[in-house]
Amino acid sequence: MKLGGENNPVNDMTIKVANGEEAEGSKGAAKVAVITRTRNRPLLLERAARSVAAQTFRDFIWVVVNDGGDESAVEKVVEEAGFPSGQVLLISQPVSRGMEAASNAGIRACGSEYIVIHDDDDSWEPDFLQKTVAFLERPESFRYGGVAVEALHVSEELRAGRIVEHARHSAMPLPRQIELAVMLRHNQFPPIAFLFRRAIWESIGGYDEDLPVLGDWAFNLNFLLNADIGVLPEALAGYHHRDTGGLPAGAYANSVISEKPLHREYAAIVRNRFLRRVGKDQTQTALIAILGSIIDDCQAEIRTLEGRLSTMASNVSRQKSIVEEFCINAGASLGKGGGNNALQDLLAKMQRYDASSTDRVGISARNVDEFDYLWAAGEVNRLLVGLRPKYVIFGKRCAPVDPSEQDWAPLLKALHYLRSRGRSVSTPYDFDEAAYLALYPDVGGAVAGGKQMSGYMHYLSHGRTEGRQRTTRGRG
């Protein structure tokens, strides 16, 4: 059948039934028309054929539009796909007219209640048609002109004449509702994920054939001026991209990858053309644009905040565990049944300490210093948690001390912070506080005047490094 007239300017385009006979009229009394645009990509078309053939819903016609490519290669794929006679139409255009013209040609060549664009490089789950048709045929769906599903981004590459898939993830997170204002900011779903009523396509006047790219986005914008779009939140479509390995050029390239500059250029053209179509009321036009921007920015901010909250919750949990472990291991309640075995051993040694039995008990200056560090670390962590947990958890002013590090620098920093907050570690039983203050009158005066919290706090913070004597009970 030769297509002519002002709506079909190419007069040498032919339509053939899958068995190779030339059609004399429309072969499309099916419920759904599946339109596939292809050009010299038989490897991808084979996969598309399998995707369409696997549909559990069978009342469809597959319309394959060969847009200026090798017709024999397309015929071979279609014939080997195993479709029943009369279920496939093959349209051949000797010269490529572009994707949108190919869509319009395929839709005009058949009759159907519903339409969906299945490009040659994309795919469906077997129940895509079953579920989307059922959605639009529900009594409550009369208000919707079409339905969109979740599309998974499929990352793949061509390797040695075959398709190698690498990963799948959400391509365009499908919103709960399709908003015209948001659609003006960016396209919200690819063609493979959208089944719509033919009546809306007719009222729009088809796809805009002047657009070399982004024609599906322009169509969706005009669609929303005529009808609402329902949402079926299921991942039923695969949006395939050759974006891994050696990126293919020519026929097997993705336009969204190989023609990025063109996409950016026509994004402005699509928006401007749509806004001019809305009407002469500039207030309405401005409101649509502003609303879209606000909604899009808010959604982006929400996603950012969700990420931050997730990270914060993870940090809180991790730091809380660290603080609790530190408090336990440091023996925060040493002398009251707490502390680990190493601390208890040191405590037992200090309790038995006698100047004349140093060698027998095994106490040395190093052991005493280790004991002071472990005692102070446990006290510091206990006080920090009790004083202001958020400071400890988020490390805003003072982090907890790791007893296993034996590093006095962070411990001294923590002691300084506690002193500034009016807190002091408790004095261990073996430290002779009175003897220390009597031995060092300057420290005694500072404690009496409130400049030092205790003799033991002074010893930890300053006395050790100044070479002052630790007045341990039994040593004198």
Over residues 345-360, the pLDDT tens digits come to: 544 444 443 333 333 3
Residue 349, token pair as written in the block: 């040694």
Measured between alpha carbons, how far apart are the two ends of the chain, in Å?
116
Pick the more confident residue, 238 or 278. Answer: 238
What is the extent of the structural domain holding 424? 317-466
Where are any strands of DSSP class E within 108-227?
112-117, 123-124, 144-159, 162-170, 194-197
Q: Is residue 291 part of a domain?
A: no
Average pLDDT value for residue range 316-336: 50
The answer to whether residues 403 and 411 touch, using CB atoms and an 8 Å cutoff, is no
Q: Are residues 252 and 363 in the same domain?
A: no
Where does the pLDDT of residue 288 fall: very low under 50, low under 70, confident under 90, or very high at 90 and above? low
Last residue of a domain, one of 258, 278, 298: 278
Give the model's confidence band at 280: pLDDT under 50 very low, under 70 low, under 90 confident, else very high: low
Task: Tell me the per-residue pLDDT of 217-255, one tens digit each, with 9 for 90 and over.
Answer: 999 999 999 999 999 999 999 999 877 655 544 555 555
**pLDDT at position 27, please?**
47
Q: Domain ends where: 278, 300, 334?
A: 278
- 341-351 and 365-387 helices, crossing angle to 10°: 120
Q: Distance between CA atoms of 181 and 285, rounded to whole angstroms?
A: 10
Average pLDDT over residues 95-117: 94
Do 271 and 325 fall within a single domain? no
Do 264 and 326 sit in the same domain of this protein? no
Alpha helix locations (H) across 362-466? 365-387, 389-394, 408-420, 433-439, 441-448, 455-458, 464-466
Residue 289 lies in a domain: no
- pLDDT value of residue 143: 94
**Is residue 376 very low, low, confident or very high in pLDDT (cuts 50, 70, 90)?**
confident
Helical residues (DSSP H) of 175-281, grouped into ranges:
180-185, 198-204, 215-226, 255-258, 260-278
Which residues are CB-neighbours of 412 under 8 A, at least 6 positions away?
460, 461
Is 334 within a domain?
Answer: yes
pLDDT score, position 163:
76
Scan for tokens 């869509």, then name that residue.
103
Q: 300 in a domain, yes or no? A: no
Domain boundary among 278, 303, 337: 278
150, 262: one domain: yes
CB 384 within 8 A of CB 392: yes
Does 273 share its domain with 378?
no
Look at residue 190 and tell me whether its pLDDT is greater than 90: yes
Distance CA 39, CA 280 (A): 40
Whether 297 is covered by a domain: the verdict is: no
Higher per-residue confidence, 94 vs 366? 94
CATH number, domain of 56, equals 3.90.550.10
Residue 42, token pair as written in the block: 């038989």
The phi, psi pair for 322, rounded to 5°, reads: -65, -45
d(CA 332, CA 324): 10
Percent above pLDDT 90 for the chain? 38
Domain presence at residue 283:
no
Q: Minimum mean pLDDT among 16-25, 218-227, 400-409: which range?
A: 16-25
Please tell me whether residues 240 and 98 are part of one structural domain: yes
- Confirm whether 311 is domain-assigned: no
In the prediction, which pLDDT does 203 show?
95
Long-range pairs for 351-359: beta carbons < 8 A, 24 or more residues apart: 351/429, 351/430, 353/430, 353/472, 353/473, 353/474, 353/475, 354/474, 355/474, 355/475, 355/476
199: pLDDT strictly greater than 70: yes
pLDDT of residue 287: 63
Judgement on whether residues 256 and 327 belong to the same structural domain of the protein: no
Whether residue 331 is found in the same domain as residue 382: yes
Based on the domain organization, do 51 and 127 belong to the same domain? yes
Residue-wise pLDDT tens digits, 161-180? 787 877 887 766 788 889 88
Note the pLDDT of residue 334. 41
Q: What is the pLDDT of residue 390?
A: 46
pLDDT, tens only, 306-323: 777 766 666 555 555 555
- C-alpha torsion angle, residues 2, 6, 10, 14 (rounded to 10): -20
Judged by average pLDDT, the poorest of 51-60, 258-267, 344-353, 412-421 is 344-353
Same-domain pairing of 353 and 461: yes
Residue 267 shares a structural domain with residue 391: no
| Total count of domains within the chain | 2
CA distance 83 to 409: 78
CB atoms under 10 Å from CB of 461, counted, come to 18
Report, as an integer, the average pLDDT of 50-60: 96
Answer whether residue 232 is part of any domain: yes
Report how far residue 319's alpha carbon sits from residue 251's, in angstroms, rounded to the nearest whole number.
54
Q: Does residue 156 sit in the same domain as residue 251?
A: yes
